[in-house]
Amino acid sequence: MKFFFDLFPLIVFFLAYTFANASPESARAMASEWLGGGLSADQAPILIATATAIAATALQIAAVWLKTRKVGGMLWISLALISIFGGATLFFRDPTFIKWKPTVLYWLFGATLIGANLLFRRNLIKSMLEKAQIRLPDPVWARLNLLWALFFAALGLLNLYVAYGFAQTTWVNFKIFGCTGLIFAFTLAQAPYLSKHLIEDKPSG
């Protein structure tokens, strides 16, 4: 259930785009009511999807706040990015901005992993996985942190390649299914390597 909650804005974005793209003229009329006239049927689906994603992210944060009375930093970052890039997309009626949003997010992830390690000697991957009782030698943690940073850098570049090299619908599908699938596959691919280096607790007594 938490998995779907975390992906709630993405799911809403995909559904809104899919339904709007299926009825472009109706979508154009709806978008024109929100943003004013002069919109084409091709512009409307991505603008509607962007607006709903902004609303969904705000709703997600509100739900977390009501439940826990605190909101994690990543959620605030997600809201800031979708508001900035999504807002620019709506204001200029240009999908270029929203297409850059995943890349900026992934590059920010990668830069944070590297920056925290270099500036504060803190391995964020280690901090996250140790909460799940995963213990590894320090050199393995260092390699893992670097691998994730490189992965996010590559994923950001791949998003731009798809965004500018393929049709908008292809990019939307890649953003939802491709990026999520690659992150999941990359995580699974590390399992055999990590299992070789796990530090097992010694039995007491």
Secondary structure (H, E, C), 181-201 = HHHHHHHHHCHHHHHHHCCCC
User: What is the per-residue pLDDT for 205?
Assistant: 47
The residues, any chain, with a CB within 8 Å of residue 75's CB and separated by 6 or more, are 57, 60, 61, 64
**pTM (2 d.p.):** 0.91
User: What is the per-residue pLDDT for 201?
Assistant: 59
Cα Rg of the chain (Å, integer): 20
Q: pLDDT, tens digit, for every residue of 59-104? A: 999 999 999 999 988 899 999 999 999 999 999 999 999 999 999 9
Low-confidence ranges of the chain (pLDDT < 70): 1, 201-205
Instruction: Please tell me what DSSP assigns to residue 175.
Output: I
Nearest Cα to 53, choosing from 159, 172, 187, 201? 172
Are 50 and 84 contacting, i.e. CB atoms less than 8 angstroms apart? Answer: no
